[in-house]
Homo-oligomer: A and B are copies of this chain.
Amino acid sequence: MYYICSMNTENQNAQMRKGVIELCILAIIAQQDAYASDIIIKLKEARLIVVEGTLYPLLTRLKNDSLTVYRWEESKSGPPRKYHQITESGRKALAELKADWHELITSVDKIIGDTTNNSK
């Protein structure tokens, strides 16, 4: 008898990443104008794996919310690239998201911090 996964911890892990990905992408663009592959590489470097199917709709959402704008730049090694740039309201939203993120960390630590029988 096999248990595929009595509790899908991996799945939970994926769920935890949801929501912060937008924050991360906005932060990456804020650092330097970037196109999709740039962003995916940087997320991978930080072990936050994201695939195209996740990234592109998200970039569209950021643009629709006027948090970013983009420009096309030609490439010598393929089709033109869409470089995304953060806007002023994008920076504001980023600051808010960062604040929310740190608040969340505080809240969660308040709960899991004082769990007894903690392996440390």
Contacts and interface: CB of A to CB of B under 8 A. Distances in A.
Contacts of A91: 117
Interface of A: 6-7, 9, 12-20, 22-24, 27-28, 30-31, 42-43, 45-48, 65-67, 89, 91, 93-98, 100-101, 103-105, 107-108, 110-112, 114-117, 119
A27 B43 CA distance: 29
27 contacts: A7-B93, A9-B93, A9-B96, A9-B97, A9-B100, A12-B19, A12-B23, A13-B97, A13-B100, A16-B18, A16-B20, A16-B23, A16-B100, A20-B104, A20-B108, A24-B111, A24-B112, A27-B111, A30-B115, A30-B116, A31-B115, A46-B111, A47-B107, A48-B108, A48-B111, A91-B117, A105-B105
- Indicate how many identical chains form the complex: 2
Nearest to A86: B117
B100 A23 contact: no
Nearest to A93: B7
A103 to B, nearest CB: 7
A8 to B, nearest CB: 8
Contact of A16 (B9, B67, B101, B110): B101
